[in-house]
Amino acid sequence: MSFKWDYTLSKAMLSCVALFGLSTNAFAAKEPEKKPNFAFSYPKDLCLTDPRDFYFYVEGVAFQGAETGLDFAIINNNVSQTAYTNNPALQGSVFGFTGNNEDWGYNFGTRIGFGVNVDHDAWNFDFDWLWVNVTNSNSFSTGTTGATILPIWLPLDALPNTGTNTNNYQNTSGHWQCIVNVVDATLGKPYYISRKVIFNPHFGLRFAQLDQDFGVSYGNSTVSANQVKFQTENDFIGVGARVGINTDWLLGCGFKLFSNVSASALAGWFDTTQKFTISNSVSTPDNSVNLTNNPQAFVPNLELNLGLDWGTYLDKKQYYLDFRAGYEFQVWWDQLHMRQFVTSVGNGNNSYQNVTAPGNLTLSGFTFKIQLDM
């Protein structure tokens, strides 16, 4: 009996080949599916058919303006005190533009700008100007309640005190205006960090001019000569560096969320003026003040903005029209540099002792922006 080596070897080889094929298929079935590539770092591109690398925009703003330190009267409800003294028994509240008496209305303004996309590493240059005029007013009268008004922005003895509370101040009103002009020139680089998120880090220069006018009147219904008007100007001008980052979060169908944050530090100076004259007070001669001051200052500034955006192509993708609605918040530190008098000026030596009344300016409200890329 002869052993058929060829036949046996052929069967063994066929078995090995079949086993190898089965094992290959088994391992291939266990291989994980390929995941999307998230290693993105390419420039933002609207893919316009004939790009000019230019855009411009117009933005309407409705801001509320507020500033700490703008109270201007103390309402003293202690009717048993028939005359004002240097140590009054106070039972009342503080009145003005802050605290329980705040009355901030929305004020309309505009921001206009343009930008250019340059070929150098897909950088972006942007220039814009913000203007808004903030105005607020408030008033109070004691009527027949017997309450009295103590002026915060006048010296302590600057009251028509002749021995009865009918000669104390019984009505007051205040008006505040702040005109804001801010110019920004920034250089940024918008790019994708993933398929659905765009970052735009930027830096540049910020120029700011904030002109404030604050006026208060204190009066008495029985003695017309006791009407006193306090007027002041508090203007700031400065320039400095600005850095920040803008982000877009793509949702689809042209919609996206956006969030922008930036900070700046400005070096500049203030130009302040304070004036008032009191013709009928305890002092003789009349009390009058005319102060000017021009302090240099370092002013930090923070700006936040977030909202919803939608855009669409026009004219066979030659243009891109974008609509953006959001809420913006700005804070300008140490903007109020007026002085409050804390001691008597009619004490025989006419000494003026006063302190600075610091205050931070805030702007907050809604924005609506239209931008055209071409």
How confident is the model over 132-145, as pLDDT tens digits? 999 988 888 877 66
pLDDT value at 165 more than 70: no
Mean pLDDT over each residue of the chain, to the nearest integer: 80
Band (pLDDT 50/70/90 cuts) for residue 346 is: very low
3-state secondary structure the chain: CCCCHHHHHHHHHHHHHHHHHHHHHHHHHCCCCCCCCCCCCCECCCCCCCCCCEEEEEEEEEEEEEECCCEEEEEECCCCCCCCCCCCCCCEEEEECCHHHCCCCEEEEEEEEEEEECCHHHCEEEEEEEEEEEEEEEEEECCCCCCEEEECCCCCCCCCCCCCHHHCECEEEEEEEEEEEEEEEEEECCEECCCCEEEEEEEEEEEEEEEEEEEEEEECCCCHHHCEEEEEEEEEEEEEEEEEEEEEEEEECCEEEEEEEEEEEEEEEEEEEEEEEECCCCCCCCEEEEEEECCEEEEEEEEEEEEEEEEEEECCCCEEEEEEEEEEEEEECCCCCCEEECCCCCCCCCCCCEEECCCCEEEEEEEEEEEEEC
pLDDT for residue 19? 53
User: What average pLDDT does the segment 265-282 reach?
Assistant: 80
How many CB atoms neighbour CB 26 within 10 A? Answer: 9
Q: Which residues pair with 288 in a beta bridge?
A: 277
pLDDT value at 183 more than 60: yes
Cβ partners under 8 Å of residue 255, min gap 6: 308, 309, 310
pTM of the entire structure? 0.80
pLDDT value at 89 more than 60: no
Band (pLDDT 50/70/90 cuts) for residue 237 is: very high
- Cβ atoms 59, 110 nearer than 8 A: yes
Task: Name the residue with higher pLDDT: 268 or 154.
Answer: 268
Q: What is the third-level CATH fold of 54-67+105-138+175-373?
A: Lipocalin (2.40.128)
User: What average pLDDT does the segment 328-350 reach?
Assistant: 72
